[in-house]
A and B are shown apart, each in its own frame.
Chain A
């Protein structure tokens, strides 16, 4: 179950986040692959076609179920596909390319909860920490996501490669390093 706020409301996620993630899945593993993940997550057929709405919200628990299913089905031996899905996820969230900082700010607004992302600029890139991961420690999805978002921030169009450097499952938090290629 999603954590409840003091107001007693169930935590929600803007529908645009679901539509971007599902569209990314559709592009990487096809319509049947996307439906396999939805079925495995135990989510209904309403998730077969989700419009990219910023008005409508869906339960955060469903996002957790979706990313957990992705990790279970794609995580073994298919991490490159998860990373590619993360890259497409960032693109579908904003096809014209938000900067890393803007995209993260928007993600914080679109996904309820006490989660947080901190960005530290470094000489050749960034160090990014995700606390209370709303994507349920889906680190390969994040890695691809950050790579695209960081490239959008780069004035010289440089490409970045993300690697997971610290992962604390008990908290949970994950730190990534993004280095210029």
Chain B
């Protein structure tokens, strides 16, 4: 744990249908490992990660990310609204091999998040399981189109299993948050 007080604290929600790989993405980002077994999240997983980021002038910015990995199951939908309060941004995840997870992203998750948070909405859309090319049901272009439709700051396809683009997804989100806060990054 760093002794220095953080320059920024960001509460970030990681949301999407069950089993799209939210917990696996976080494990890949934080622990650099892949969780082979699926274990549904009960309530919420909370992780605090300290990240230092250099701005264009080389000044170091210390950010505390409080990641809220929120259960995707329907039975948690009532309490979930309380979890969104105070969120600075969201990573909204779908599974490229399951069309329903993509449809729910637009119809449920984006709506749920925007209705229960205040201020400017910053979110990134993630199409996970990009390594499963043979089983792909959602095309990259569909994700790109959705990004434009809902005004997300980014769309990126990831593979928590292989580690592809995971770091980039989180770092892009932090960069957007720092820009919003007026930092030159």
A residues adjacent to B (C-beta < 8 A)? 26, 28-34, 36-37, 40, 72-74, 76-81, 84
Contact = CB atoms under 8 A, between A and B. Distances in A.
Contacts of B135: none
Contacts of A36: 44-47
A76 B11 contact: yes
Interface of B: 9, 11, 41-48, 64, 66, 71, 76, 79, 82-83, 85-88
Contacts of B76: 30
Chain B: interface secondary structure?
mixed
Given A30-B76, A77-B87, A78-B11, A84 B82 contact: yes
Contacts of A76: 9, 11, 64, 66, 86
A76 B47 CA distance: 13
Interface pairs A-B: 5 shortest CB-CB: A30-B43, A77-B86, A36-B46, A31-B42, A77-B11
B48 A78 contact: no
Chain A: interface secondary structure?
helix
Contact of B42 (A32, A72, A79): A32
B48 A30 contact: no
Given A29-B43, A30-B42, A76-B9, 10 more contacts: A30-B43, A32-B42, A33-B43, A33-B44, A36-B45, A72-B48, A73-B48, A77-B66, A77-B85, A81-B83
Contacts of A34: 43
Contact of B46 (A26, A31, A37, A84): A37
Instruction: From B41, B42, B76, name the one whose CB has the most chain A CB atoms within 10 angstroms.
Output: B42
A42 B33 CA distance: 21
B66 A30 contact: no
Instruction: From A31, A32, A73, A81, name the one whose CB has the most chain B CB atoms within 10 angstroms.
Output: A32
